[in-house]
Amino acid sequence: MKSKFFIKEKDHFKLYIPLENKILFENELNKHNIDFYEKIEEQPNINNGIRYFLLDKDKFEIDIIIKENEILSGIESTGIYDMKLTKKFYFIYFKLVMSIIFIVAIIIGIIKIYDKLK
């Protein structure tokens, strides 16, 4: 099923999908016979994702597609939020802080042992 401009003239919503999920998302829309409109050439910046115009009546089915395929998405007001990336960042940050605390504790221990030997 090809992109259809008429969607912009009906009750619709905008959904942003990352470029890496474009093929998967469009394939799923086509499998479920869901009309959509996107024109990547009309979008000056795709860093926030590719903008899709979708009919309001298809929201429930699109929500299921996004959840089943674990596709990141965002609406116009929220943008795309990657929780996995955030968790990874905090895990690395935690490991870094714990490593610094461990190294400082070792240095303090070595200094105390060195002072006792004098």
Domain ranges (residues) in the chain: 5-75, 82-118
Look at 81 and 14; give whichever has higher pLDDT: 14
Rounded Cα gap, residues 103 and 16, in angstroms: 44
Asked whether 37 and 3 are in contact (CB, 8 A), the reply is yes
Tell me which residue of 77, 57, 72, 59 sits closest to 25, measured CA to CA.
72
Residue 91 pLDDT: 86
Residue 51 pLDDT: 84
What topology is assigned to 5-75 in CATH?
Alpha-Beta Plaits (3.30.70)
| Res. 99: pLDDT tops 80 | yes
Residue 78 pLDDT: 45
| Res. 87: pLDDT tops 60 | yes
Which pTM was predicted? 0.57
Please give the share of the chain, as a percent, with pLDDT higher than 70: 80
Residue 96 pLDDT: 94
